[in-house]
C-alpha cells in the first residue's frame, strides 16, 4: 500500500523534498525542549545540559530508526532475508540465493535523511551538553 507513495516521494528531486526534511528537523529541535525541561527539573540540570542530553537521545533514536527502516529490518527484527528464511513469509523459499543475486532493499531517501538528522542531533546535543 505505502510502497507507491514511497516511490513517488523518492522520485521527487531533492530541491522539492528538502524543505519538508528541514521542517521536520526543526520540529524535532523545538519539541526536544519539552522533555528537556522535565529532565532538567528531575535531575537538577541546567537548561543547556538538559536540552543537550535530550538531543543526544533523539539523535540515537533517529540513527536507530533510519538504519532499521533503510535496511528493511521489519521482519520481526531479523531483516528481510532472515525473516523470510526463518518464517517463510513469501512464496520463494530460496532466500539465500535471492540475496546472492543482489536483491537488496531499494532507495529509501527518508531513512538516509533520518540518519543524517540523527548525526546532526548528536552533534548539537554534544555541544549543548558541554555548554551546560
**Share of residues in the chain with pLDDT > 70 (%):** 69
Do 111 and 6 meet the contact criterion of CB atoms below 8 Å apart?
no
In a domain, 44, yes or no: yes
Asked whether residue 8 carries a pLDDT value surpassing 60, the answer given is: yes
- Burial class of residue 48 in the structure, from the number of CB atoms within 10 Å of its CB (0-12 exposed, 13-18 middle, 19+ buried): middle
Range of the domain at 124: 22-71+108-132
Indicate if 98 and 115 belong to the same structural domain: no
Mean pLDDT for 104-131 is: 89
Indicate if 80 and 101 belong to the same structural domain: yes
What pTM was estimated for this model as a whole? 0.74
Mean pLDDT for 72-93 is: 55
In a domain, 126, yes or no: yes
Amino acid at each position: 500500500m505505502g510502497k507507491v507513495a514511497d516511490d513517488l516521494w523518492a522520485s521527487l528531486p531533492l530541491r522539492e523534498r528538502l524543505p519538508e526534511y528541514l521542517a521536520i528537523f526543526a520540529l524535532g529541535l523545538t519539541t526536544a525542549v519539552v522533555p528537556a525541561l522535565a529532565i532538567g527539573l528531575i535531575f537538577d540540570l541546567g537548561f543547556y545540559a538538559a536540552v543537550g542530553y535530550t538531543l543526544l537521545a533523539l539523535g540515537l533514536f533517529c540513527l536507530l530508526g533510519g538504519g532499521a527502516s533503510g535496511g528493511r529490518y521489519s521482519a520481526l527484527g531479523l531483516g528481510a532475508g532472515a525473516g523470510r528464511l526463518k518464517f517463510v513469509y513469501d512464496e520463494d523459499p530460496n532466500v539465500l540465493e535471492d540475496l546472492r543475486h543482489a536483491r537488496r532493499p531499494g532507495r529509501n531517501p527518508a531513512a538516509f535523511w533520518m540518519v543524517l538528522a540523527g548525526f546532526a542531533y548528536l552533534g548539537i546535543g554534544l555541544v549543548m551538553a558541554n555548554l551546560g
